[in-house]
Amino acid sequence: MNYFGYIMLLAAPLLGACAHNHGGLSYAPPADAADIARLVWNYRDLDSTARQDSVERYRPEVEAFMKTVHCDSVTDEALVRWAGSRAVAAFTPPVDSVFPDIDGFRRDLGHILAAARADSLELPHRRYAAVVYGRQEAILFVDSVMLVALNHFLGREFEGYSHWPVYVRNTKTPENLPYAVAEALIGTAYPYQAEGDDATLLSRMLYEGAMAEARMRTVPGATVAGALGYNEEDMKWIDDNEARLWQELVESRLLYDTSAQVSDRFTAPAPTVRLLPTMWPGRIGRYTGYRIVRAYLDRYPDTSLRQLLSPQFYNSPDALALSEYSPK
C-alpha cells in the first residue's frame, strides 16, 4: 500500500463524522507570519477548557483544518477524536523527531513573505498552520488559511514514502519545505496564464524560470539546485551539458510547440524527459527557463519579480532575443 493509501486508511475512522457546510470564513489577516498554529499537537494533552481556549485563538486555522477531514463544525468531540486518531498516532512521532519545534519554519515563512513584499509581489493575507493530515497534498489552501502538512517533509528515507518513486521522495525533505512554501504562495498568486491556444513551450519555460528566480530571491540560503529541485550531482551534470541541452531544444523545433502535453513533459514532475536525443532529468524545462531569465536579468537587472511573473514577459515573442541567452 502506498503512502497516500496508508494515511487515508489511518484517517478513515474520522471521515463522515461531521456534517458538511462549506461556507466562507471572514476574519482579519495576521499582523505578521510569526504566529503559525501547530494544530493537532495543541489538543492531545489539553483539558476541555484549554482546548477551547486554543480553538478561539486559532479558530480560522482549526476550521480550515477540520474541513480537510470532512468536518465543517469544530466541536470538542471532533478535536479529541482527530487528536487521538491512528493517523496522528502514526505520524506525529516522526514529525516531532524531524520538527521538534517550528521556529525554523516560522523564520523561513517570515523571510519569504518579507522578501516577496520587498520585490513588489502582492500576496494575499493568510493565516498559517502546521498540520498532520491524511491527504496527498503537501500544502493546501482552505479559505484564507495555508495548511502545511509536515508529514510530507520527513526525509526521502522515511519508510512511509517507500512506495513512491525516487523523484517524488527527493522532494519530501525538510530542506525542501521552504522552497515548497514559496512556490505554493507565489504560484497561487501568480499562476501561469497561457496566451490562448498559442502558448508555446518557450513561454512555459520562461514562466518556470521566473518562478525559480522567485524561489531564489525569497527562500533564505537558496541554492540553484534547491530552487530547481535537483541534487547537487544532477545540477553539476546539467550545468556541464547546458550547451548540448540548448542545441537539442533548438534542433528539435520544440521551443515554439503549442501542445500542452509537450509543455507538461518538460516542466511537470517526472523522473526524466524523453522528448530529446539525450535523456534529461525531469522538469528540465525549468532549468533552461531559469538560465534564459538569468541572462535577461544580466541585461536588465532592475526587473522585478512582478514583471518576470507577468504574462507580458513570459508570453512576449521578444523575451528570448532580449535576453541574448548564449549557453556556456
Instruction: Give CA–CA dist 68/133, Å, rounded.
Output: 8
Q: Dmax of the chain from CA atoms?
A: 68
Instruction: Give CA–CA dist 207/192, Å, rounded.
Output: 7
Q: Would you say residue 214 has pLDDT above 70?
A: yes
When pLDDT is averaged across residues 85-97 and rounded to a whole number, the result is 87
pLDDT of residue 171: 94
pLDDT tens digits along 36-63: 888 866 566 777 788 788 888 888 998 9
Q: Poorest-confidence range of 57-71, 105-119, 283-297?
A: 57-71
Instruction: Give CA–CA dist 233/175, Å, rounded.
Output: 16
Q: Mean pLDDT, the chain, as a whole number?
A: 86
Cα radius of gyration (the chain): 21
Sheet holding 145-149, edge to edge: 36-38, 127-131, 145-149, 139-142
Q: Would you say residue 21 has pLDDT above 60?
A: no
pLDDT of residue 128: 93
When pLDDT is averaged across residues 138-150 and rounded to a whole number, the result is 95
Please report, to the nearest 10 degrees, the dihedral formed by the alpha carbons of residues 185, 214, 304, 112 taken in order.
Answer: 60
Instruction: Give CA–CA dist 134/125, Å, rounded.
Output: 26
When pLDDT is averaged across residues 123-143 and rounded to a whole number, the result is 91
pLDDT of residue 41: 66
When pLDDT is averaged across residues 171-179 and rounded to a whole number, the result is 97
